[in-house]
Amino acid sequence: MMKMILSLAAGTILSSAAFAADAKRGQELFIKAGCYQCHGTVGQGANTGPRLGPDPLALESFISFVRNAASTNMPPYSAKILSDAEMADIHTYLASVPKPPARKDIPLLNNK
Amino acid sequence: MGKPENGVNRRNFLTVAAASGAAAVTAPTGINEAKAVPSIARIAPPSAAEMEAEIGEARLLPAAVTSVGPNARPGSDFMVDVLRALDIEYVATNPASSCRGLHESINNYAMNKKPELLTATHEEIATAMAHGYAKVSNRPMGLLFHGTVGIQHATMAFYNAWADRAPMLIMSGNHLDAAHRPPGVPTTHAAQDPLALIRDFTKWDDQPQSLQACAEALFRAYKITMTPPYGPVAISLDAHLQEGFTENDLKIPKMTRVSAPSADMDTLKEVARMLVDAQNPVIVVDRGSRSHRFQPLLVELAQLLGAPVVDQLGRQNFPSRHPLNATDRARGVIGNADVILGLELADFWGIVNSYSDVAQPKQGRRLKDSVKLVSINSRDVFMKANYQDFQRFQDVDLALAADAEASLPGLIEMVKSATTPEHKAAAEKRTAAAGAAAAKNLEKLLSEDAVYGWDASPISTARLSAELWAAIKEHEWALVSRDARLSNWPHRMWNFDKHYHFIGDSGGAGQGYGLGAAVGAALAHREHKRLVVNVQGDGDMMYGPGGIWTAAHHNIPLLTVMHNNRAYHQEIMHVQRVGNWRDRGLGRANIGTTLENPHINFAMMAKSMGVEGIGPIGDPKELAPALKRAVQIAKAGEPVLVDVLTQPR
């Protein structure tokens, strides 16, 4: 129930904030807020945190997860640390990350 | 006993010489003092009887000190003979005055051959070298340090070796006799009990007071360090034993062959029954492998049972591409198990329970209620109380205080005896299912995980691992660093199937292990002409960069690839985590945790110590040619370093 309320609240705020979401600012925030420490600078994921881009969760779910990450090992980010508008910027950045090449086009990943 | 010569026998001669020497050292050089020296000489030295009555012959005049006759030999020459009898090939040292007797004997009596001295720029590096060397060669390296400051320098590295069960023979100098030791620094460096500092994380120590006792102490130490569970042992070699002389006929003990503690057959039969009857048996292994014998045994056992193997990667335990390797699917297979066999686990509790590092930590059990747990662990034979490397207590159904490698042959025989055709069919079915799951998992890893960030700069750990694999796979190679900080990509991509392919990590998680251990491991690999790869963290490197020089000085071929993420990233995440809990923001998590401003140029650092340095490389397209060149240099027998700017993990 709480998650639903938070998701709805986030959606309400972001419906206006998302207009101004900016990928470049989002990239800066992604680094400054330390997201890259666990998820990599392009959100590619690592053994410390899952992949986030270039197809992140829907914005509302994304914010809800970050605010309520207590069910995982991820530290929660309150609105005081990252506002919804800033989260929208980060989300835009993650969505802007170019899609990777397919494995079949990377010879090194077809090595035995 | 020498005859009296001019009224002074040999024993007294040394005493006189010592007294005169003391006078010469302490007498001021002013002209008036020239008259003072004879006045000292006029004082008759105490007779042997008087000395014995005063402080006891055994204390003042041990066998080593008493003679300078034609058959006399330095006590430390005898110590070299003992080290040779123990087949100690190398002694790593940072030179120390309290060890000068043995140092000189290795130089001029042994002619620096068996043992050969290895020069390290810090005792912590020397100890890490011994640590890495032991895990490749299955032999202890000798270490020769100052008894106080040297041991203090090396302490953390000893703890790593203790936690990681690495054998090594620590030797330290001391000047115990307050009445005869030099004043000033040697006295500052002397101690009543110099090895007390490390007693909590060494298996045994001694401070022998005669050369005969010294030989026996070294042999006992060797036996203890090489009896599983392996661990460091330490002997304090007093300077008066090293620097004195002996013409006594001293005995060097014979080498003792040791047998590892093995589980009894009745208990192994019970374990076999549990495993064979299980529907979902799982094997979890950590520091199982001590030698080339272990991996084939574990493969045989896993295949007989059709049991997935979860490798904690404490050693090269199980082939990375074996269909039963379930390391990447650990949580699932452990949660589904009805019998779990733990082999030499450092932390059984942590494997079968969860712990969330959140503001209100949460713990949980990962197991079915009906699961049976069996442990075979030599640590149960020997542990100490203070430091908590034995981890949290895990109750199990059956704990065998025994060495896994020594116990596997008996367990395999018992499993074979208990296996029916129905059991065999079930095992084959499980093996097929595990193989399919492993293949599916690998496909996902490569297609859905490795490709992301492929062209990123800093370079992704998947890209680095793939490029490195392409560069080394045609050679006989060995990875001498842990790959957890590379998101385990090497163990996902590379074909680890030889016993020498991997040696695990530091054990105690003390920083400063990486480079030294890599140099020591590379030394052990050198005679086999293997291409030795060390993926080196930048933070760890800065604890002991002098290892680069040691590799160059001793012509130890080693390919070091810097995982240069310019931070202590683990610690950034910790500070960030607490900042989030306290809702205080993230802007300052970099303070005290990053290695920036200025950036460290590791290629230049390598060059400054006579090692070819390549990089820094931030463009992934430049990686392949750089690694190709580096491999050529390493294969030509030299150390080389490639500085790669990398993603955090």
- CATH superfamily of the domain spanning B451-645: Thiamin diphosphate (ThDP)-binding fold, Pyr/PP domains (3.40.50.970)
B-chain CB neighbours of A46 within 8 Å are 461, 487, 647-649
Considering the entire predicted model, what is its pTM?
A: 0.89
Gap between the Cα atoms of A15 and A13, Å rounded? 6
Question: Of how many residues is chain B composed?
Answer: 649
- Residue A109's identity, in one-letter code, is L
Cβ distance B451 to A70 less than 8 Å, yes or no, reads: no
Query: What per-residue confidence (pLDDT) applies to B587?
Result: 78
Query: What per-residue confidence (pLDDT) applies to B49?
Result: 53
Query: What per-residue confidence (pLDDT) applies to B335?
Result: 97
From B460, B484, B493, residue closest to A40, measured CB to CB: B460
Distance from CA of A97 to the nearest CA of B (A): 9
Gap between the Cα atoms of B314 and B537, Å rounded? 18
Query: What per-residue confidence (pLDDT) applies to A20?
Result: 64
Query: What per-residue confidence (pLDDT) applies to A70?
Result: 63
From B356, B469, B487, residue closest to A47, measured CB to CB: B487
**Quick one: closest CA in A to B356, which residue?**
A73
Cβ distance B452 to A51 less than 8 Å, yes or no, reads: yes
Gap between the Cα atoms of B64 and B152, Å rounded? 28
The single-letter DSSP state of residue B281 is E
A-chain CB neighbours of B581 within 8 Å are 75
Cβ distance A40 to B470 less than 8 Å, yes or no, reads: no
CB–CB of B369/B401 below 8 Å?
A: no
Give B66's pLDDT tier (boundaries 50, 70, 90): low
From B449, B470, B586, residue closest to A51, measured CB to CB: B449
- The CATH-assigned architecture of domain B73-246 is 3-Layer(aba) Sandwich (3.40)
Which of B356, B358, B467 to mutate to probe the A interface, most A CBs <10 Å? B358
Give B69's pLDDT tier (boundaries 50, 70, 90): confident
Q: Does the pLDDT at position B630 exceed 80?
A: yes
Cβ distance A46 to B447 less than 8 Å, yes or no, reads: no
3-state DSSP call for residue B341? strand
Element (H, E) at B214: helix B211-225
Query: What per-residue confidence (pLDDT) applies to B38?
Result: 37
CB–CB of B167/B230 below 8 Å?
A: yes
* Domain B265-383+390-442 listed as CATH 3.40.50.1220: yes
On average, the pLDDT of chain A sits at 83
Burial B391-415 (b: 16+ CB within 10 A, else e): eeebebeebbebbbbbbbebbbebb
What is the per-residue pLDDT across B204-254, written as a single tens digit (0 to 9) for each?
A: 999 999 999 999 999 999 999 999 999 999 999 999 999 999 888 899 999
Q: Does the pLDDT at position B23 exceed 80?
A: no
What is the per-residue pLDDT across B88-126, written as a single tens digit (0 to 9) for each?
A: 999 999 999 999 999 999 999 999 999 999 999 999 999
Element (H, E) at B213: helix B211-225
Which of A35, A47, A65, A110 to mutate to probe the B interface, most B CBs <10 Å? A47
Q: Does the pLDDT at position B141 exceed 70?
A: yes
- CA dihedral B520→B609→B646→B331, nearest 10 degrees, is 10
Gap between the Cα atoms of B328 and B489, Å rounded? 11
Per-residue tokens: B472: 């080394």
Percent of the residues in chain B that have a pLDDT greater than 90, as a whole number:
83
Q: Does the pLDDT at position B375 exceed 60?
A: yes
CB–CB of B302/B334 below 8 Å?
A: no
Query: What per-residue confidence (pLDDT) applies to B52?
Result: 47
Measured on CA atoms in the order B97, B102, B103, B107, is the torsion positive or negative? positive
Instruction: Break chain A into its structural domains and give their ranges.
Output: 2-99
What is the per-residue pLDDT across B572-623, written as a single tens digit (0 to 9) for each?
A: 889 988 998 899 877 788 899 999 999 999 999 999 999 999 999 999 999 9
Give B41's pLDDT tier (boundaries 50, 70, 90): very low
Distance from CA of A29 to the nearest CA of B (A): 10
Instruction: In chain B, list all ranges with CATH 3.40.50.970.
Output: 73-246, 451-645
Gap between the Cα atoms of B93 and B126, Å rounded? 6
3-state DSSP call for residue B260? coil
Gap between the Cα atoms of B503 and B287, Å rounded? 9
Give B61's pLDDT tier (boundaries 50, 70, 90): very low
Distance from CA of B452 to the nearest CA of A (A): 5
A-chain CB neighbours of B358 within 8 Å are 70, 73, 75
What is the per-residue pLDDT across B470-493, written as a single tens digit (0 to 9) for each?
A: 999 999 999 999 988 999 999 999
From B469, B495, B589, residue closest to A34, measured CB to CB: B589
Per-residue tokens: B266: 């009745």
Q: How many beta carbons lie within 10 A of that of residue B639, not counting itself?
A: 31
Query: What per-residue confidence (pLDDT) applies to A75?
Result: 83
Query: What per-residue confidence (pLDDT) applies to A69?
Result: 75
Q: Does the pLDDT at position B10 exceed 90?
A: no
- Which value does ipTM take for this structure? 0.85
Cβ distance A103 to B451 less than 8 Å, yes or no, reads: yes
Cβ distance B469 to A111 less than 8 Å, yes or no, reads: yes
Question: Of how many residues is chain A composed?
Answer: 112
Per-residue tokens: A74: 């991820």
Query: What per-residue confidence (pLDDT) applies to A4?
Result: 39
Q: Does the pLDDT at position B19 exceed 50?
A: no
CB–CB of B414/B268 below 8 Å?
A: yes
- Residue B105's identity, in one-letter code, is S
Of A3 and B317, the structure prediction assigns the larger pLDDT to: B317
Gap between the Cα atoms of B94 and B86, Å rounded? 22
B-chain CB neighbours of A100 within 8 Å are 451-455
Query: What per-residue confidence (pLDDT) applies to A72?
Result: 75
Q: How many beta carbons lie within 10 A of that of residue A102, not counting itself?
A: 10
* Closest C-alpha to B281, from B399, B400, B415: B415
Gap between the Cα atoms of B91 and B143, Å rounded? 5
CB–CB of B513/B540 below 8 Å?
A: yes
Query: What per-residue confidence (pLDDT) applies to B442?
Result: 94
Is any Cβ of chain B less than 8 angstroms from the Cβ of A8? no
From B357, B452, B484, residue closest to A44, measured CB to CB: B452
From A43, A46, A81, residue closest to B487, measured CB to CB: A46
From B359, B453, B579, residue closest to A40, measured CB to CB: B453
Region of poorest pLDDT, from A88-97, B480-489, B552-561, B582-591: B582-591
Give B191's pLDDT tier (boundaries 50, 70, 90): very high
A-chain CB neighbours of B586 within 8 Å are 32-34, 81
| CATH T-level assignment (fold) for domain A2-99 | Cytochrome Bc1 Complex; Chain D, domain 2 (1.10.760)
Query: What per-residue confidence (pLDDT) applies to B361?
Result: 84
